[in-house]
Amino acid sequence: MALVSAKEMLENARDGHYAVPAININNLEWTKAVLSTAQAMNSPIMVAVSEGAGKYMTGYKTIVGMVKGMIEELNITVPVALHLDHGSYEGAKAALAAGFTSVMYDGSHLDLEANLAQTRDIVAIAHAQGASVEAEVGSIGGEEDGIIGSGELADPAECKTMADTGIDFLAAGIGNIHGKYPENWAGLSFETLEAIKAATGNIPLVLHGGSGIDEAQIKKAISLGVSKINVNTELQLVFAAATRDFIIAGKDLEGKNYDPRKLLAPGYDAMVATVKEKIEVFGSANKA
């Protein structure tokens, strides 16, 4: 199946009261784990790439080629959207030019008028080629590619103004953060989420920082209109832990386990298990 826009899959998720996982990839192992697990679970999936990961993997054209090639070679038939996560203005345009089918333009660090103006530009470019657009209002907490947010609560009125730019789905701060959640984290503000939903109507909503939020809060957020949930840190943590255990146990010294295909296998398996868990919790299994 060819890459698709995320618009229809997220509208289906909104109407079906589940959420599509948006899993960040960092290399071939990440990509294979995400795509193969989504296929096995019959789940629509968003393969997300941060600008930093994009540079690490040598650029957007390389990523488009890898993802398209893997879809063909693995016979992936579930809907797959290739999505730029927290893109800059120039980054979003470059990703679209390379063949991404969805982008997030993150102008949340700008004043609202500048954010709106640049978002409209990205919407026009993306929609002209059938790609979808996500935008953000309010700062998501934690750190993403060097941008640090305090986890503020978005203003529902500003969310409505942003939704009116023609974006396809909206990320808004409701107390969520990127990275590990601290022990004293207050939890998601469902009051804020309900107000944003009331203000913006039917636009699918996005929850960033999906790693580490407990299942009960995830499911309540989905019931209130969240249709896309981002996951990155959790896969990084399980990959690192499994790889560390393999090496500390000395298994890399056995036979030809120094071969990177064997050395990285435990981390790959851990990621597969985590993606499977997210698909189950988000309710997207058998929704392709």
Domain CATH for 20? 3.20.20.70
- Please write the tens of the pLDDT for every residue from 110-169: 888 999 999 999 999 999 999 999 998 865 554 444 444 445 788 999 999 999 999 999
In a domain, 12, yes or no: yes
In a domain, 253, yes or no: no
In a domain, 60, yes or no: yes
In a domain, 80, yes or no: yes
In a domain, 288, yes or no: no
Q: What b/e sequence results for 27-48 when a residue is b if at least 16 CB atoms lie within 10 Å of its CB, and e otherwise?
A: eebbbbbbbbbbbebebbbbbb
In a domain, 251, yes or no: no
Q: What b/e sequence results for 152-170 when a residue is b if at least 16 CB atoms lie within 10 Å of its CB, and e otherwise?
A: bbbbbebbbbbbebebbbb
- pTM to 2 decimal places: 0.92
In a domain, 252, yes or no: no
In a domain, 260, yes or no: no
Q: How many domains does the chain have?
A: 1
> Residue 149 in contact with residue 197, Cβ under 8 Å?
no
- 26 to 44, 63, 95, 143, 252: CA distances (angstroms): 20, 10, 16, 17, 22
Q: How many CB atoms sit inside 10 A of residue 97's CB?
A: 12
Going residue by residue through the chain, which has 288 residues, state the pLDDT in tens, using 9 for 90 and above.
789 999 999 999 999 999 999 999 999 999 999 999 999 999 999 999 999 999 999 999 999 999 999 999 999 999 999 999 999 999 999 999 999 999 999 998 888 899 999 999 999 999 999 999 999 886 555 444 444 444 578 899 999 999 999 999 999 888 767 556 556 555 788 999 999 999 999 999 999 875 678 889 899 999 999 999 999 989 999 999 999 999 999 999 999 999 999 999 999 999 999 999 999 999 999 999
C-alpha closest to that of 237 among 172, 152, 180: 180
Q: So which residues are the catalytic ones?
A: 85
Segments forming the whole domain that contains residue 142: 7-229+268-282
